[in-house]
Amino acid sequence: MKKTVERTIKKAFFALAKNEGWTLQMAGGQVGVTVPKDESHGDFSCNLAMILAANTKTKPRVIAEKLSRQLAGNGLFSSVSVAGPGFINMTVHPDHWAAALDQIFTAGEDFGRISVGHGEKVMVEFVSANPTGPLHIGHGRGAVVGDTLARILSWAGYDVHSEYYINDVGLQMDNLGQSTLARCRELLGQPAGELPYKGDYIIDIARQFLEANGERIMEAPLEESLAKARKFSADKILDGIRSDLEEFRVGFDEWFSEATLHDSGEVEKTINQLQRKGHIREEDGALWLKTGSAGDEKDRVVRRANGVTTYLAADLAYHKSKIDRKYSMLVNVWGADHHGYVPRMKAAVSALGHDPEKLIVRLVQLVSLKRGGQTVAMSTREGVFTTLREILDEVGVDATRYFFLMRSSDSQLEFDVELAKRHSSDNPVYYIQYAHARCCNIFVTAKETGVKRIPFDQVDKSLLTGGDELRLIRKLLMLPDVVDACARSCQPHPVTGYLTEVAAFFHYFYKHNRVVTDDEPLTHARLALVEATMMVIRNGLEILGIDAPRKM
């Protein structure tokens, strides 16, 4: 509908432009149609006249009057008026609103999908946590933000591929193997030795390690036992991560192992390529990527003097792989503590010959838990961390996803465990799900009452004239705009707020109107509205990866 209004205004604008000497450039290149906060200002509002006035030195209200008269002649609106300093307020005729419900029925489970992405290939990389321990709630937030972002971009018409980059190489892996061996010795009653990772989960892994390899593995040369312990532990932990994410409905198209980049020689190849192109210099025997001249604080080492490559080197090869695989838009979801890494990565992508603007890093801020009126900040260092598994078991998937998604990822999140667990309307998740269940139930009632369903085009939509009905319809038709805004900003949270509004408008409508009555035409019209609501909520929840129950 918004698009229709925009087109209509453009038409009116050009009809006058010849005589008035206006150009679209004078208007800022576009007609900015917005939905006013205040319903009394109409369905849509436009500040075109004010922008135009500034560039033509005319009074805004004069321009607004002219445009307004032109627009009023269009059958789309029931009223057009000039208000305030020069806003043009438009109210769309109720019949057009009701008829627009057809868009929802026609698109069905695809209503909300748009094509702004034009099939562009986009890679969304997220979680990518080291396989050195179970995922905690911070990872959980990143996981659900990344997963939902992938869903949103797909709904927006992008060709989306999601990936988990497994850092299965390096010092952390050695530490992990060492920790497992230490726990093994402990289990065998020997002095444990160094224990870099102190979490209890290593004890289980150690036990399984001994079972799988026999106690004699501990007498093997350290090099051998460590290599085995490293691999064994990482695999076990990765299995755990996989099943946690699966339960959390977070899926990946691919799990990409860093080790494969080293084994295939891609890391070396990437360094060589960058060296040839002059992006690398040598100092103190080490190789430095010249990121300092491309926005980073300073240049960064990719290969140490001892010949060992750094983490950045592997990440370069990884991003080269993304580019080689023809992904043009690269979305990375990172914990906010990695923000210092952003300029470096942008510079790196640029050195690889890709537009750094096409690397979008979405930083996700910390999560703290609130329970019993007390907030506990997450701290891996102090070992005060709640695992994703714990919160899933306690709160459930739907509420956990919703709570992780309801705030801008730029803001730190306080997760109110007690509120999330509450099965009542206080809890926004159930508030939305309940609205969906109510819709479904109305159809059960209709069927029991013997109401026959008729095709939408035979329904008399003009009967939907109530303020609360039109308000709901207007809201329902906004889903595509919400998807658009989310895709543009790479932020999923507006969807949660939108669905809360849809649910609120529906609950209000439900309370004040009876759907199934003796008035058959009106019953059919309202059933159509209920069905449209059901579809919008279901599609919205689908985007968020949250169930839409038929019954509660």
- Nearest Cα to Cα of residue 475 among 508, 500, 502, 497: 502
Q: How far is the CB of 431 from RNA (least distance, A)?
A: 4
Q: How far is the CB of 210 from RNA (least distance, A)?
A: 27
Restricted to residues 285-314, the positions that interact with RNA (CB under 7 A) are 285-286, 297, 300-301, 304-305, 308, 310-312
Q: How far is the CB of 439 from RNA (least distance, A)?
A: 9
Alpha helices in 410-548 (DSSP H): 417-421, 428-449, 467-476, 479-489, 494-512, 520-544
DSSP structural state of residue 407:
S
The strand ranges marked E within 266-385 are 280-283, 286-289, 300-303, 329-335, 359-364, 367-371, 374-377
Beta bridge partners of 81: 89
Q: Choose, by CB under 7 A, the member of 15, 26, 485, 522 that binds RNA.
A: 485
Q: Choose, by CB under 7 A, the member of 8, 68, 70, 89 that binds RNA.
A: 89
Residue 413 near RNA by CB under 7 A: yes
Q: Choose, by CB under 7 A, the member of 10, 36, 356, 390 that binds RNA.
A: 36
Q: How far is the CB of 283 from RNA (least distance, A)?
A: 7
Burial 258-269 (b: 16+ CB within 10 A, else e): bbebbeeebbee
Give the phi and the psi of residue 332 in degrees, each rounded to 5. Answer: -115, 130
Only one of the segments 162-170, 189-197, 204-212, 233-241 lies at the binding site for RNA (rule: CB under 7 A); that segment is: 162-170
- Nearest Cα to Cα of residue 260 among 250, 249, 251, 269: 269
- Nearest Cα to Cα of residue 332 among 358, 352, 313: 358
Bridge pairing between strands 300-303 and 329-335:
unpaired
Restricted to residues 179-238, the positions that interact with RNA (CB under 7 A) are none
Q: Choose, by CB under 7 A, the member of 8, 47, 68, 291 that binds RNA.
A: 47
Residue 130 near RNA by CB under 7 A: yes
Residue 87 near RNA by CB under 7 A: yes
DSSP structural state of residue 426:
T
The terminus-to-terminus CA distance of the chain in angstroms comes to: 33
Residue 340 near RNA by CB under 7 A: yes
Tokens of 395: 């709160």
Q: Closest CB to RNA among 202 and 363?
A: 363
Q: How far is the CB of 234 from RNA (least distance, A)?
A: 12
Give the phi and the psi of residue 453 in degrees, each rounded to 5. Answer: -80, 140
Residue 510 near RNA by CB under 7 A: yes
Only one of the segments 79-87, 152-160, 386-394, 534-542 lies at the binding site for RNA (rule: CB under 7 A); that segment is: 79-87
Residue 156 near RNA by CB under 7 A: no
Catalogue the long-range contacts made by 65-68 (C-beta closer than 8 Å, 24 or more residues apart): 66/16, 66/20, 67/9, 67/12, 67/13, 67/16
Only one of the segments 4-12, 152-160, 245-253, 432-440 lies at the binding site for RNA (rule: CB under 7 A); that segment is: 432-440
Size, binding site for RNA by CB under 7 A: 91
**SS3 label, residue 374:** strand
Only one of the segments 85-93, 264-272, 317-325, 532-540 lies at the binding site for RNA (rule: CB under 7 A); that segment is: 85-93
Q: Choose, by CB under 7 A, the member of 12, 51, 182, 250 that binds RNA.
A: 51
Q: Choose, by CB under 7 A, the member of 494, 502, 534, 546 that binds RNA.
A: 494
Restricted to residues 367-406, the positions that interact with RNA (CB under 7 A) are 406
Burial class (CB in 10 A: 0-12, 13-18, 19+), 286: middle
Residue 39 near RNA by CB under 7 A: no
Residue 248 near RNA by CB under 7 A: no
Residue 55 near RNA by CB under 7 A: no
Q: Closest CB to RNA among 34 and 462?
A: 34
Q: Choose, by CB under 7 A, the member of 170, 199, 292, 466 that binds RNA.
A: 170
Q: How far is the CB of 334 from RNA (least distance, A)?
A: 9
Burial 359-383 (b: 16+ CB within 10 A, else e): bebbbbbbbbbebeeeeeebeeeee
Residue with tokens 């192109």, as numbered in its chain: 277
* Contact letters for RNA, residues 2-31 (x by CB under 7 A): ------------------------------
Q: Choose, by CB under 7 A, the member of 74, 78, 257, 441 that binds RNA.
A: 441
Restricted to residues 459-478, the positions that interact with RNA (CB under 7 A) are none
Number of H helices, E strands in the chain: 20, 15
How far is the CA of 2 from the CAs of 5, 97, 299, 544, in angstroms?
A: 5, 11, 48, 24
